[in-house]
Structure 1
Amino acid sequence: MAGNNAVAYKSPGKVEVIDIDYPTFELKDGPGVNPANVGRKVPHGVILKTVATNICGSDQHMVRGRTTAPPDLVLGHEITGEVVETGPDVEFLQVGDLVSVPFNIACGRCRNCKERKTGICLNVNPDRPGSAYGYVDMGGWVGGQANYVLVPYADFNCLKFPDKDQALEKIMDLTMLSDIFPTGFHGAVTAGVGVGSTVYVAGAGPVGLAAATGALLLGAAVVIVGDMNADRLKQAASFGCETVDLTQGGPAEQIEQILGEPLVDCGVDAVGFEAKGHGAGASEAPATVLNSLMDITAAGGALGIPGLYVTGDPGGVDEAAKKGSLSLSLGTGWAKSLSFTTGQCPVMKYNRQLMMAILHDRVSIAKNVNAKAISLEDAPRGYAEFDSGAASKYVLNPNGYIKN
């Protein structure tokens, strides 16, 4: 049986590559596994040999100790892989197929899945709607930052690439289909971006850059990206975005210099619950982004909120923030008739269309997010560099499929 190494959370600020069991078609007990899921049979699953698996900003929240993730939780919800085993109930996938795996696990059978709300499947997490690989409070499905990973409900969840050789040539782009490209695109779609829109994206990390890419793909006239990190702002500018340096203060005045007015049609929050205030040396103030977006989005507009917000944050700035209770100016949103869309992106709503855009050279998401491939053993360095603000999206290459 093949060995299986994986990236695991150990303690705040620390990840390690550890040995774990090779997957089987049954969910075993382990760190973070919901007791009600232990022993769950997965005849509808496949085992993948991982082709690419990415470090995500959502992983960083756990690694910083900002969630209740237990030690030795295997990380990784952005998975692309080759099928090496199929369960007895799998009909349409075969050994050798190359597939993208949505980060949200969905059964395909419940009411929400049938309504394309795959981010809030009712059957995969005993505690609440919605699940994901390698994530705290998501049912305990083992993460994919490993040599091998189990994918349940595989006929439904897996997006098969039509041409394996072509897919391997474009793997650095296609690996983004598991999460950040659909997530950023979802942020732009739910913010109402269309032809001629003016758009403000808060956050120039990978999801923010993916949202900016999505906004351009949707026909936006102007996409403005705000951040405090100069290197990340340069990355946004590299593919045609305007930028706002939030160390200089709030976004409204700088937006006015760009557009002639301090308002945009559409706003996207790609920051989430670890947001800081505006200005040099600003401290954490988790409602800042949402409140500023309400201020600068035109009346009747919409906010797409793919940035992560949690119900349990041990490192929250106050007791309310530790429970996910933020001081929102909801009156502003109400008075301006703004719409809000939150929650996990339903990846399958978008991933096939975005795959086609990649395969037919309509978009270069890997270039836009500055994707860099590193080995699985190098994951601790990738996590540290990403946490320090590197303007890169780190792609782990556990089995040598990616040729640098």
Structure 2
Amino acid sequence: MCHNHGVAYISPGVVEVQSIDYPKLALGDRKCEHGVILQIVSTNICGSDQHMVRGRTTAPAGLVLGHEITGLVIEAGRDVEFIKEGDLVSVPFNIACGRCRNCKAGQTGICLNVNPGRAGGAYGYVDMGGWIGGQAEYVMVPYADFNLLKFPDKDQAMAKIRDLTLLSDIFPTGYHGAVTAGVGPGSIVYVAGAGPVGLACAASCHLLGAAVVMVGDMIPERLEQAKSFGCEPIDLRSETPLADQIAQLVGVPEVDSVIDCVGFEAKGHGAGADAEQPATVLNAAMTITRAGGAIGIPGLYVTGDPGAKDKAAQEGSLSIRIGLGWAKSHSFFTGQTPVMKYHRQLMNTILYDKIQIAKAVNVEVISLDKAPKGYQDFDKGAAKKFVIDPHGLIPN
């Protein structure tokens, strides 16, 4: 039997690399002939993982983490027709059956058949169907023909693997946030949050033709990273209100589009604002978005937050100024990104050098045994995207 190791959530603030079962082509007691087993080439630490590791979800101890996966097919079930052993593939973080009403409509983030608890499934994530995560050496992927994106040239893909690894989640997620917020040629845009998703979103806004992309955060290193590829940094620690900072840059205190890349652990704005105010970003978005504008919300909001300070927030209820959004005829777009809607096109932007997404989010490759430290550094606000290389396959 082959060995396998994975990154497991132990308790708030603690993850460990543990020996875990080698994957089987099985779903419980029945064979999974539509699945494949992957040798992991790259698997990334995500801000969504960090919510669990901070103890801000109902994630159980022992959960193997990781929903951002790129790998080599080393075994395929007999019902897999078009994906072959030896293929290098990107795995959307959404697990989708390809058969249900939602999948057939392209809404793969809310598949009806992969999670008995609710619509939508994902690898290594709380309340998302119990699927084993991919921050490991090997993982099983179901419905392979439908889910997997095969890279057309393995050598070409490995040369750009630092970029292509981001196709499993944050590049499509950032892009989806921009698209749903109506970003296009000449748009004036504000991106809330300069973590990896926010930076990927900002780069996507440039790709879509935005004229000005402003990125707000409280961590100077992350703002410098945003500035490094042409964004206008907005320091949310400043005593100058957000709308006034925007007016200083574009002449008016409003924008066409806002993308919330922060989510439910948002903090208040202004000098010394360290306390959590989970509705801050959404309310600020409605304040600065022009009448008739749109707000994309790829940032994570949860139905259960045991670490929240008040009972309402623990149940995902926030004090949102929906009346303001209604009065300004805003459009709001929420939910998991349907990665498959975008990943092939975004792959081509990478392969044909239309974007340097790894540079934008500042990818740093680490070994599997360094994953716990990666989580610690990320939690401290490192302006990096940590990519785990379990087998030492990523070229220097």
Other-structure match for 2:162: 172
The aligned residue for residue 205 of structure 1 is 195
Q: 2 CA distance for matches of 1:40 and 1:350?
A: 32
1:341 aligns with 2:333: yes
Whole-angstrom CA distance in 2 between matches of 1:103 and 1:246: 31
Q: 1:24 maps to which residue?
A: 24
Counterpart of 1:63 in structure 2 is 53
Cα distance in 2 between the residues matched to 1:140 and 1:154: 18
Give the SS at the match of 1:357: helix
1:43 equivalent in structure 2: 33
Q: How much has 1:281 moved relative to structure 2?
A: 2.4
User: What pairs with 1:319-358 in structure 2 (closer than 5 Å)?
Assistant: 319-358=311-350
2:152 equivalent in structure 1: 162
Match for 1:16: what amino acid? E
> Is the contact between residue 285 and residue 317 of structure 1 (CA under 8 Å) also seen in structure 2?
no
> Superposition pairs for residues 162-311 of structure 1, below 5 Å?
162-249=152-239, 250-282=241-273, 283-311=275-303
Alignment deviations for residues 38-62 of structure 1 (CA, whole Å, 9 cap, x no partner): 4354210000000000000000000
User: Match of 2:13?
Assistant: 13
Aligned-residue offset at 1:16: 0.2
What do residues 84-130 of structure 1 show as CA deviations (whole Å, max 9, x unaligned)?
00011100011100000000000001010010000000000001000
Give the aligned partner of residue 110 of structure 1: 100
Aligned to 1:2: 2
- SS of corresponding position for 1:68: coil
| 3-state secondary structure, aligned to 2:95 | coil
Query: How many Å separate the matches in 2 of 1:196 and 1:9?
Result: 44
One-letter identity of the residue aligned with 2:298: P
The answer to whether the 8 A contact 1:202-1:271 is kept is: yes
Matched-pair contact (CA < 8 Å) for 2:207–2:355: yes
Cα deviation digits, residues 270-324 of structure 1 (max 9, x gap):
0000000001221100000000000000000000000000000000120000000
Q: Deviations over 1:202-259 (max 9, x none)?
A: 0000000011011000000000000000000000000000010000144111001000
Alignment check: 8 A CA contact 1:54 1:395 kept = yes
Q: In 1, are the aligned partners of 2:203 and 2:357 still within 8 Å (CA)?
A: yes
* Structure-2 separation of matches of 1:39 and 1:171: 35
The corresponding residue for 2:65 is: 75
RMSD: 0.7
SS of structure 2 residue aligned to 1:266: strand
Equivalent residue for 1:317? 309
Secondary structure of the structure 1 residue equivalent to 2:121: coil
In the alignment, which of 82, 87, 90 is matched to residue 92 of structure 1?
A: 82
Partner of 2:382: 390
Judge conservation of contact 1:117–1:346 (CA < 8 Å) in 2: yes
- 1:248 aligns to what SS in structure 2? coil
Query: Is the Cα–Cα contact under 8 Å of residues 159 and 395 in structure 2 kept in the other structure?
Result: no
Is contact 1:143-1:149 (8 Å) kept?
Answer: yes
Identity %: 71
Matched with 1:31 is none
Runs (5+) with no aligned partner, structure 1? 28-37
TM-score by length of 1: 0.97
Counterpart Cα distance in 2 of 1:355 and 1:291:
34
Amino acid in structure 2 at the alignment position of 1:360: Y
Q: Distance in 2 between matches of 1:150 and 1:225?
A: 37
Distance in 1, matches of 2:54 and 2:68, equals 19
Q: Which amino acid in structure 2 is aligned with residue 62 of structure 1?
A: M
CA distance in 2, matches of 1:309, 1:298: 24
Flag as ranges the 4+ runs of structure 1 deviating above 2 A.
38-41
Q: How many residues align?
A: 394
Q: Which residue does 1:403 correspond to in 2?
A: 395
Counterpart secondary structure, 2:122? coil
Separation of aligned partners in 2, 1:302 and 1:327: 20
What is the distance in 2 between the residues matched to 1:40 and 1:365? 40
TM-score, normalised with respect to structure 2:
0.99
SS at match of 1:73: coil
Q: In structure 1, the residue corresponding to 2:158 is in which secondary structure?
A: helix
Code of the aligned partner of 2:19? D
